[in-house]
Structure 1
Amino acid sequence: MFRKTEACVTRRCMVLKRNQSVEQERAATLWGETAPAGYNAVIAEFTPLLEEIRAQSLRAEVERILPFGQIARLKESGLTAFTVPAEFGGLGRPLHELFSLVVDLATADSNVAQALRAHFGFIEQLRWEEPSAYTERWLRRLGRGETAGAAAAEKGAERDRFATTFSQKDGHWVINGSKFFTTGSLYADWLTVTGSTEDGETVKCLAARSDPGLEIVDDWDGVGQKLTASGTAHFRDVRVEDDELRYGNTGFSYSQAFFQLYHLATVAGITQAAALDIARAVRERKRGFSHANHALPAHDPQILEIVGHVASAAHTARAIVRHAAEALQAAADSREGDERGPATVKAELEVWQAQEIIFPLTLNATSLLFDALGGTATLRVAGLDRYWRNIRTIGCHNPRVYRTRVIGDYLVNGEPPPGQWRVGTV
């Protein structure tokens, strides 16, 4: 794994800056972090890897190549341990920097970024809890590069009870049931599983990807984020050790804001990638229309304005994400415990407002980009459609319409955001 001193990282950053491509240099000017130290110095070490993943992303999308290799490289590099404390083998970076990392990961490949959402959420859960043998055991595993995937959501389950059950069999706890939206689990070492005991109590645990009785099916058929493996996981008498069980609502107090801001950071990265792609396509395009403003699209002011719109949307989305990430950092630092105190409520309201702006802005930008090119932009091999499809797909998770109402209710009536959200049949 990469484990450099701050001085070494700074020198590496200077070398990389000298060797940047024109695209990288312009992207850094438009969207790079304003602070010269901290995140910039750390992420510079991983820039070649992110560029490699980005170079593979179009072919992966068109040919449906699942990103096993890309995620393995991220694990080997140490980047999946970005927020794991240094004493457990991680990079020990603060929470607010994580969302800049997610933007950069999503710029490289949004499927890879979203596949790690549950993983980084599990790390944050462990960092939030009081230190124990449990948290130390898992932080050391994650610090070594092991990753966790999602196994919480279900299709057809009730809102107040999971269909997946934890029960006793032959003196051991076993899991039975099926999960959907198991994002990233196909690539993970562990699954974070949530279910109900026979008396209805919520319980969580970790199950190894290789456990007997655990089957993950790549049957995700969404219009976007096609390579996230967000399909089905079946549990058939999957055995769980007693010391892995966690009862009740064990989520960290600011988890709702965390997971939704992660989505928004992914969307910001998607828009950034779209801006880079449309800029390159316009720069390289030689075909033009007789009634255009210039023989070459790269010098046509109307075409340049479209590219500017897309780039500005990417900038705005990233800036809003960074701002909301500071509020989330404040919630984490407040150590408000199990209760959602003022810092957590503020973070939630920040993120819900961000949702209302970022989704319409980026959906429009990734549709508008087609106006900068001709009919060839719609060819499947160009892959430009994936940006709109991916944002539209992410935007359907926990739809913003309900949270926009929450903002209005708070401003008008002072009503705080509701507690943990659940989805299910009634």
Structure 2
Amino acid sequence: MGVLKRNKTVDQERAETVWGESVLSGYNAVIEPYASLLEEIRAHSTKAEVERVLPFEQIAQLKESGLTAFTVPKEFGGLGRPLNELFSFITDLATADSNVAQALRAHFGFIEHLRSEAPSDYTKRWFERLGKGETAGAAAAEKGAAREAFATRFTRKDGHWVINGSKFFTTGSLYADWLTVTGSNEEGETVKCLASRHDPGLEILDDWDGVGQRLTASGTAHFRDVRVEHDELRVGNTGFAYSQAFFQLYHLATVAGITQAAALEVARAVKNRKRGFSHANHELPAHDPQILEIVGHVASAAHAARAIVRHAADALEVAAHSNDDDRGPSVIKAELEVWQAQEIIFPLTLNATSQLFDTLGGTATLRAAALDRYWRNIRTIGCHNPRVYRTRVVGDFLVNGELPPEQWRVGTV
């Protein structure tokens, strides 16, 4: 393979060979200077999982490096990379630490929202902030609220707008500078805005206790008269046309990265393992063909997941640059590609991250190894947006020509 580049580890070189982008892709040259940072984040991820260390430092490093401005236009200080490359980056970031990758999901979605809008003072103001490294977190979902409405309210007080209510699944908000908040105004209309993370009326609790993605800070946020400037308000369903496909593909890119990380970790564990069974095919697991085959299965699942994500990302890139009206043909195609990808990627990667335990002995189940986090993280991401409904949508389109639903909502009925 030649001489290794100084800023890459052996694992990174092998990962690039097995899963890396085409040599024709500009992404390789863009991400190469950040290889050591990504490896540093990955080296910290097991300890962080076992000791429950929230990734404040890692996200701060990403802000400082400029990677949180991956798709922010260059004129505002960002890297100005295209949308399809973003998903390759998210996969690589999730390979380092999927908690960090998911914590930035709302942030990159907000950037994409700005990129989809016509230039204005609003987009300029926010691009300038994001180009300097500021980030946004999520504050949309609510526990116990009605499916078609929000309990969080935007009202007028002392001549300005304030937010009151509580949110859950506030992924990444504990690490962010701003929160993307969705609620209802006094007329019952859906309203969205950005609220400062540092407003004295905003309290964010680290009470997320899911089985996986434990460090994403996806818990509760309480808003008590949190002030919002009038020119930050956006009334109505203001999501960009391809937002549903974007946010679900983001999950799939994260899952592809989790599986890559699992393959790298189990390969390293097999290589270093000295204990063997008397009935094995070789004294050392590293040379046992049955064990090597299982490692190959896990690696192949990671390859397939990343390849599917790349293909769907190209469809999303086309949708982003199309002249379609809201949810025109390009957007519909992107949605159907992502829905089909969900059907394949989740069972494939869940199986792979369970199968990896067959390569090792009982020590693989020790909590200190944290190998279970890969399966738990994928299972948790998959539960947020159950693929069963989207798979049905794909079938309904093929059989009856029925278009995918325009808006997916969850809540009490």
Report the TM-score range of the alignment, normalised by the length of the smaller protein: over 0.9
Q: Given the alignment, which residue of 1, 12, 20 partners 1:32?
A: 20
Structure 2: how far apart are the matches of 1:247 and 1:79?
30
Q: Give TM-score, length-normalised by structure 2.
A: 0.98
Q: Given the alignment, which residue of 181, 185, 188 partners 1:193?
A: 181
Secondary structure at the residue paired with 1:381? coil
Q: Given the alignment, which residue of 383, 391, 401 partners 2:378?
A: 391
Secondary structure at the residue paired with 1:150? strand
Match of 2:127 in 1: 139
Structure 1: how far apart are the matches of 2:12 and 2:175?
29
Deviation string 1:227-274 (CA, Å, 9 cap, x unpaired) is 000000000011111111010011000000000000000000000000
Aligned-CA RMSD value: 1.1
Deviation string 1:284-326 (CA, Å, 9 cap, x unpaired) is 0000000111100000011001000000000000000000000
Asked if the contact 1:172–1:241 (Cα under 8 Å) also holds between the matched residues in 2, the reply is yes
Asked if the contact 1:192–1:206 (Cα under 8 Å) also holds between the matched residues in 2, the reply is yes
Match of 2:364 in 1: 377
Which residue identity lines up with residue 184 of structure 1 in the other structure? Answer: G
Which residue identity lines up with residue 421 of structure 1 in the other structure? Answer: W
Map 1:240-279 → 2, pairs under 5 A: 240-279=228-267
Asked if the contact 1:216–1:233 (Cα under 8 Å) also holds between the matched residues in 2, the reply is yes
Structure 2: how far apart are the matches of 1:407 and 1:286?
48
Structure 2: how far apart are the matches of 1:149 and 1:391?
21
**2:372 matches 1:368:** no
Structure 1: how far apart are the matches of 2:191 and 2:8?
49
Structure 2: how far apart are the matches of 1:350 and 1:35?
25
Match of 2:194 in 1: 206
Which residue identity lines up with residue 408 of structure 1 in the other structure? Answer: G
Match of 2:159 in 1: 171
1:15 to 1:304, Cα distance in 2 relative to 1, 3 A = closer
Structure 1: how far apart are the matches of 2:24 and 2:79?
18
**2:355 matches 1:349:** no
Q: Give TM-score, length-normalised by structure 1.
A: 0.95
Which residue identity lines up with residue 333 of structure 2 in the other structure? Answer: K
Match of 2:60 in 1: 72
Structure 2: how far apart are the matches of 1:85 and 1:248?
26
In the TM superposition, what is the alpha-carbon distance from 1:16 to its structure 2 partner?
A: 6.8
Q: Given the alignment, which residue of 148, 165, 182 partners 2:170?
A: 182
**2:278 matches 1:305:** no
Match of 1:407 in 2: 394
In the TM superposition, what is the alpha-carbon distance from 1:19 to its structure 2 partner?
A: 5.4
Structure 2: how far apart are the matches of 1:69 and 1:36?
34
Structure 2: how far apart are the matches of 1:103 and 1:245?
32
Q: Given the alignment, which residue of 314, 322, 345 partners 1:358?
A: 345
Structure 2: how far apart are the matches of 1:21 and 1:210?
39
Asked if the contact 2:192–2:235 (Cα under 8 Å) also holds between the matched residues in 1, the reply is yes
Match of 1:340 in 2: 327
Asked if the contact 2:8–2:35 (Cα under 8 Å) also holds between the matched residues in 1, the reply is no
Which residue identity lines up with residue 207 of structure 1 in the other structure? Answer: A
Asked if the contact 2:8–2:36 (Cα under 8 Å) also holds between the matched residues in 1, the reply is no
Structure 2: how far apart are the matches of 1:261 and 1:315?
16
Match of 1:226 in 2: 214
1:321 to 1:216, Cα distance in 2 relative to 1, 3 A = same
Structure 2: how far apart are the matches of 1:58 and 1:259?
26
Structure 2 unaligned regions, length at least 5: none
Match of 1:317 in 2: 305
**2:23 matches 1:47:** no
Deviation string 1:206-227 (CA, Å, 9 cap, x unpaired) is 0010002000000000000000
Structure 2: how far apart are the matches of 1:280 and 1:347?
37
Structure 2: how far apart are the matches of 1:269 and 1:239?
38
Which residue identity lines up with residue 416 of structure 1 in the other structure? Answer: L
Structure 2: how far apart are the matches of 1:198 and 1:125?
25
Match of 1:5 in 2: none
Asked if the contact 1:183–1:231 (Cα under 8 Å) also holds between the matched residues in 2, the reply is yes
Deviation string 1:54-91 (CA, Å, 9 cap, x unpaired) is 00000000000000000000000000000000011100
In the TM superposition, what is the alpha-carbon distance from 1:18 to its structure 2 partner?
A: 5.6
Aligned identity (percent) is 82
Asked if the contact 1:62–1:383 (Cα under 8 Å) also holds between the matched residues in 2, the reply is yes
Which residue identity lines up with residue 80 of structure 2 in the other structure? Answer: G
Secondary structure at the residue paired with 1:382? coil
In the TM superposition, what is the alpha-carbon distance from 1:17 to its structure 2 partner?
A: 3.0
Structure 1: how far apart are the matches of 2:10 and 2:230?
55
Asked if the contact 1:16–1:44 (Cα under 8 Å) also holds between the matched residues in 2, the reply is no
Structure 2: how far apart are the matches of 1:20 and 1:97?
20
